[in-house]
């Protein structure tokens, strides 16, 4: 017996030694195996700082910890950071794993401070599609099972950007937990979710901002049928409680749905809480009266391909709504709203949306309106009214604005409309009713991030043919703008073409662009909320004439700007322009493409230009101090080439000055790309003969720009060359005493040291 105890003791000690030593001696092997196996199975790269395996952290389970994980996705010819976080923690039932590999039991799975960046590139591709397909993979045994007893996410962040629809959303401080039981192809999920902030943007416009969520979800999923069943789940959105149950089945070309969503509460303040910035920390203290009702049911098939639509019935109403914040002066009251929407035909011919009445009273000033939309999917008919007064100062005195926001002024709409889609498409404006005006008086808007925007006065006259804004008098920070604007055929915007045709004549004394340029900061994990794409500019046509007395832009002094041109989609065409830039009078024309991506996504701006000048002084343009003697080092910083420019430029100058060199009849081509200027076949009359120049000026290294120039000189004078090229003075001073002409090739290479 004693021998048996000794043997047992040695076995236990041996196992303990192995439990301690295996993670230590084989740590590097284990880490490399995890990285290799994970990366080989995805179109991307999985990395982490450290990993550990322990039998003691969650005994008797096997605990795996991965620190600082990061996953890069190589999808759609793009590299994006799909996921990173502080730690991944997995706890497995070791004995279950050893005995039965087909039925895996994960005791717990945790993500600590994960940041997930999901990008939808188009309707078919996103950066989460990283799993490699294996045509030789064996069919998975249908009798396998997976059980995750407990999983959790702590302080997570989710960023979603849909480049196809130009929408984005952001979730902050996500805390989520639950359990998953999968048997064969059936998965059951029970989870709890708390989210501090949800924001959703469409075309850069906030639709939802800082919405909180507290939900309990009971979900059943069948992989074989691609069917989700939601069982009596609860979603609390700010102060609004919603109950949801039903099912959704995803088929190849359609979706079958049977859903019911309703709110069991009926206080007006509950519905009001989901408006942007409405749900304040002291929302429990908000005084409110009035009731609301919300209910929606969907049943049937939706197919974008076949143009099938489910039946639906939506009802939302507000009666005698009133609300006042404890720290605000004014109260909104007499709020009434009745919304009904429905469809009972698979083709959608009966689909409608009616806002039968809307009204509100803010500081004894009324605003009311109505909207009827019938035959939504075929020949939409739209009718409605909007009348009243909206005092923005009163709105600010009632509604919680974002920190640093100032708002004032008065808007007076008086609109009435009735039209259908076919009359607009056929330009039958005699059958269209669209009349009224919108008066804007002393509008002021300012945020903590943007300069003040003011509209002193604007009268907008509206008809089916034109929307006219005469004598718009406005300012944007230090910049001023006076303009006349005509929007031709405005109702074309509501057709499938979604076209906009504008004519703008403007005049400014000062345009200060420095107020609107912010320093670039890394925002790797933040979606571009205000991103505008080329698709958004399709159908846009803007013709303009503009004069600007003074334009302020970093590193340049620009005055007397005049120009005319067109914006057609994502292309800007300048028919002609002129300006004085750093004391040089320049005229020209050009075209630019990829505008939206350049302005909102830091992409490259493409352009072609023809520039002309009578006298072009390069020293003034580059701000070189010509008072410094040639024998002294130049105390100046090099001219920087923006990396986002890809320009082809033709240039002509009757006289070109780059002291002490003077050239006449200069002409040639320049290519600006990737922080470099490539000079191609520049030729001129110089130094008593002809000079041809090819070369490269590069600021890829901003602190140490380089240039490499080749001069081909033909019949130039010795003495003139000595007086015109500083380097010749140093290397061949004897040339000043030689009379006559010569031909030569000269190459200059140098690094410009900023000091």
Lowest mean pLDDT among 130-139, 345-354, 536-545: 130-139
- The reported pLDDT for the residue numbered 528 is 46
Question: Is residue 10 very low, low, confident or very high in pLDDT (cuts 50, 70, 90)?
Answer: very low
- The reported pLDDT for the residue numbered 145 is 61
Pairing state of beta strands 540-553 and 500-512? parallel
**Res. 444: pLDDT tops 90:** yes
The stretch 570-594 carries a mean pLDDT of: 93
Which of 19-54 are b and which e, b meaning 16 or more Cβ less than 10 Å from the residue's Cβ?
Answer: eeeebeeeeeebbeebbeebeeebebebebeebebb
- The reported pLDDT for the residue numbered 724 is 57
- The reported pLDDT for the residue numbered 539 is 84
Task: Find which of 525-534, 570-579, 717-726 is predicted with most confidence, using mean pLDDT.
Answer: 570-579
Cβ proximity of 336 and 359 under 8 Å: yes
- The reported pLDDT for the residue numbered 49 is 86
**Res. 740: pLDDT tops 70:** no
Specify the residue for token string 């923690």. 89
- The reported pLDDT for the residue numbered 201 is 87
Question: Is residue 731 very low, low, confident or very high in pLDDT (cuts 50, 70, 90)?
Answer: low
The stretch 218-234 carries a mean pLDDT of: 91
**Res. 219: pLDDT tops 80:** yes
**Res. 138: pLDDT tops 60:** no
- Say which residue, 721 or 68, is predicted with more confidence: 68
**Res. 38: pLDDT tops 70:** no
Pairing state of beta strands 605-617 and 645-658? parallel
Helix, strand, coil share (%) of the chain residues, nearest 5: 15, 60, 25
- The domains of the chain are located at 18-131+141-224, 225-401, 604-755
**Res. 734: pLDDT tops 70:** no
**Res. 5: pLDDT tops 60:** no
- Say which residue, 122 or 470, is predicted with more confidence: 470
- The reported pLDDT for the residue numbered 478 is 92
Beta bridge partners of 728: none
pLDDT tens per residue across span 49-88:
888 777 656 666 778 888 999 988 888 777 888 889 999 9
- The reported pLDDT for the residue numbered 97 is 59
**Res. 16: pLDDT tops 70:** no
DSSP string, 59-113: TTEEEEEEES-EEEEEETTEEEEEEE-SEEEEEE-HHHHHH-TTEEEEEEEEEES
- The reported pLDDT for the residue numbered 658 is 74
- Say which residue, 232 or 93, is predicted with more confidence: 232
State the chain's mean pLDDT as an integer.
83
- Model-level pTM? 0.74
**Res. 630: pLDDT tops 60:** no
With CA atoms as reference, report the closest residue to 57 among 37, 31, 87, 29.
87
**Res. 527: pLDDT tops 90:** no
**Res. 8: pLDDT tops 90:** no
- The reported pLDDT for the residue numbered 520 is 42
The stretch 115-132 carries a mean pLDDT of: 82
The stretch 388-405 carries a mean pLDDT of: 94
Lowest mean pLDDT among 128-142, 207-221, 394-408: 128-142
Q: Which helix (H) or strand (E) holds 647?
A: strand 645-658
The stretch 124-142 carries a mean pLDDT of: 65
**Res. 755: pLDDT tops 60:** no
- Say which residue, 105 or 17, is predicted with more confidence: 105
Q: Which helix (H) or strand (E) holds 271?
A: helix 268-272
Question: Is residue 577 very low, low, confident or very high in pLDDT (cuts 50, 70, 90)?
Answer: very high
**Res. 195: pLDDT tops 90:** yes
**Res. 498: pLDDT tops 60:** yes
- Say which residue, 637 or 200, is predicted with more confidence: 200
Share of the chain above pLDDT 70, in %: 80
DSSP string, 120-178: E-SSS-BTT--BPP-TTPPPPPTT-EEEEEEEEEEEEEEEEEETTTTEEEEEEEEEEEE
Question: Is residue 46 very low, low, confident or very high in pLDDT (cuts 50, 70, 90)?
Answer: confident
**Res. 679: pLDDT tops 90:** no
- Say which residue, 95 or 470, is predicted with more confidence: 470
- The reported pLDDT for the residue numbered 383 is 95
- The reported pLDDT for the residue numbered 34 is 63
- Say which residue, 57 or 308, is predicted with more confidence: 308
**Res. 553: pLDDT tops 90:** no
DSSP classification of residue 378: S
Task: Find which of 46-55, 155-164, 291-300 is predicted with most confidence, using mean pLDDT.
Answer: 291-300
- Say which residue, 722 or 287, is predicted with more confidence: 287
Question: Is residue 519 very low, low, confident or very high in pLDDT (cuts 50, 70, 90)?
Answer: very low
- Say which residue, 18 or 711, is predicted with more confidence: 711
Burial of residue 499 (number of CB atoms within 10 Å: 0-12, 13-18, 19+): middle
The stretch 525-537 carries a mean pLDDT of: 56
- Say which residue, 42 or 737, is predicted with more confidence: 42
Beta bridge partners of 293: 317
**Res. 533: pLDDT tops 80:** no
What Å distances lie between residue 240 and 180, 273, 279, 358, CA to CA?
28, 7, 10, 21
Question: Is residue 532 very low, low, confident or very high in pLDDT (cuts 50, 70, 90)?
Answer: low
- The reported pLDDT for the residue numbered 235 is 94
**Res. 492: pLDDT tops 80:** yes
- The reported pLDDT for the residue numbered 643 is 87
The stretch 564-577 carries a mean pLDDT of: 93
What Å distances lie between residue 625 and 88, 633, 717, CA to CA?
59, 11, 27
- Say which residue, 312 or 458, is predicted with more confidence: 312
Assigned token pair, 424: 């607009």
- Say which residue, 549 or 148, is predicted with more confidence: 549
Question: Is residue 522 very low, low, confident or very high in pLDDT (cuts 50, 70, 90)?
Answer: very low
CA 89 to chain centre: 33
Assigned token pair, 50: 């450290």
Lowest mean pLDDT among 392-406, 631-645, 686-700: 631-645
């Amino acid at each position: 017996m004693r021998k048996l105890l000794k043997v047992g003791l040695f076995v236990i000690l041996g196992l303990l030694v192995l439990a301690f030593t295996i993670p230590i001696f084989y740590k590097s092997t284990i880490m490399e195996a995890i990285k290799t196996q994970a990366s080989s199975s995805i179109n991307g790269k999985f990395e982490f700082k450290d990993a550990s395996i322990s039998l003691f952290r969650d005994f008797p389970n096997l605990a795996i910890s991965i620190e600082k994980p990061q996953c890069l996705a190589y999808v759609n010819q793009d590299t994006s950071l799909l996921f990173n976080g502080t730690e991944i923690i997995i706890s497995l039932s070791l004995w279950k794993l050893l005995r039965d590999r087909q039925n895996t039991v994960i005791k717990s799975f945790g993500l600590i401070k994960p940041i997930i960046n999901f990008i939808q590139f188009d309707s078919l591709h996103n950066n989460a599609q990283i799993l490699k397909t294996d045509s030789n993979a064996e069919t998975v045994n249908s009798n396998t099972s997976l059980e995750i007893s407990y999983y959790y996410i702590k302080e997570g962040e989710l960023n979603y950007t849909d480049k196809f629809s130009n929408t984005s959303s952001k979730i902050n401080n996500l805390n989520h937990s639950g359990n998953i039981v999968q048997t064969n192809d059936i998965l059951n999920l029970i989870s709890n979710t708390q989210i501090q902030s949800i924001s959703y943007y469409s075309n850069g416009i906030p639709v939802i901002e800082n919405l909180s969520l507290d939900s309990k979800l009971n979900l059943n999923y069948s992989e074989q049928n691609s069917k989700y069943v939601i069982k009596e789940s609860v979603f609390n959105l700010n102060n609004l409680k919603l109950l949801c149950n039903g099912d959704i089945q995803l088929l190849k070309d359609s979706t079958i749905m049977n859903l019911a969503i309703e709110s069991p509460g009926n206080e007006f303040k509950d519905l009001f809480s989901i408006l942007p910035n409405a749900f304040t920390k002291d929302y429990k203290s908000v005084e409110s009266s009035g009731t609301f009702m919300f209910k929606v049911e969907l049943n049937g098939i939706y197919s974008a391909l076949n143009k099938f639509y489910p039946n639906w019935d939506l009802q939302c109403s507000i009666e005698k709504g009133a609300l006042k914040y404890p720290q605000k002066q004014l109260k909104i009251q007499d709020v009434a709203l009745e919304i009904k929407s429905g469809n009972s035909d698979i083709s959608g011919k009966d689909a409608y949306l009616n806002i039968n009445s809307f009204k509100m009273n803010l500081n004894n000033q009324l605003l009311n309106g109505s909207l009827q939309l019938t035959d939504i999917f075929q020949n939409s008919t739209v009718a409605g009214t909007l009348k009243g007064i909206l005092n923005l100062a009163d709105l600010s005195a009632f509604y919680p604005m974002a920190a640093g926001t100032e708002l004032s002024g008065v808007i007076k709409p008086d609109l009435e409309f009735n039209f259908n889609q076919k009359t607009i498409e056929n330009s039958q404006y005699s059958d269209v009713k669209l009349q009224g005006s919108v008066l804007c008086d002393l509008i002021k808007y300012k945020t903590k991030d943007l300069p003040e925007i003011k509209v002193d006065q604007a009268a907008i006259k509206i008809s089916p043919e034109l929307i006219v804004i005469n004598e718009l008098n406005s300012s944007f920070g230090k910049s001023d703008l006076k303009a006349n604007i005509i929007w031709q055929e405005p109702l074309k915007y509501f057709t499938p073409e979604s076209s906009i045709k504008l004519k703008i004549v403007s005049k400014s004394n000062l345009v200060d662009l420095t107020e609107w340029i912010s320093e670039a900061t890394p925002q790797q994990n933040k979606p571009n909320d205000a991103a505008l794409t080329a698709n958004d500019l399709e159908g846009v046509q803007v013709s303009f004439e503009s004069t600007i007395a003074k334009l302020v832009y970093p590193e340049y002094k620009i005055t007397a700007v005049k120009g005319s041109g067109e914006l057609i989609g994502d292309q800007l065409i300048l028919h002609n322009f002129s300006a004085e830039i750093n004391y040089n009078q320049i005229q020209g024309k050009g075209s630019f493409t990829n505008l939206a991506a350049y302005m909102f996504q830091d992409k490259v701006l493409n352009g072609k230009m023809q520039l002309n000048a009578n006298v072009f002084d390069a020293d003034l343009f580059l701000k070189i101090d010509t008072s410094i003697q040639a024998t002294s080092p130049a105390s100046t910083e090099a001219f920087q080439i923006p990396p986002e420019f890809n320009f082809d430029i033709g240039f002509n100058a009757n006289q070109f000055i780059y002291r002490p060199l003077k050239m006449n009849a200069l002409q040639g081509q320049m290519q600006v790309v990737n922080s470099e200027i490539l000079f191609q076949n520049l030729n001129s009359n110089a130094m008593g003969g002809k000079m041809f120049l090819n070369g490269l000026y590069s600021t890829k290294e901003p602190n140490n720009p380089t240039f490499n120039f080749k001069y081909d000189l033909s019949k130039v004078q010795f003495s003139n060359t000595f007086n015109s090229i500083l380097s010749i003075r140093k290397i061949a001073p004897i040339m000043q005493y030689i009379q006559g002409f010569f031909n030569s090739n000269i190459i200059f290479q140098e690094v410009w040291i900023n000091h």
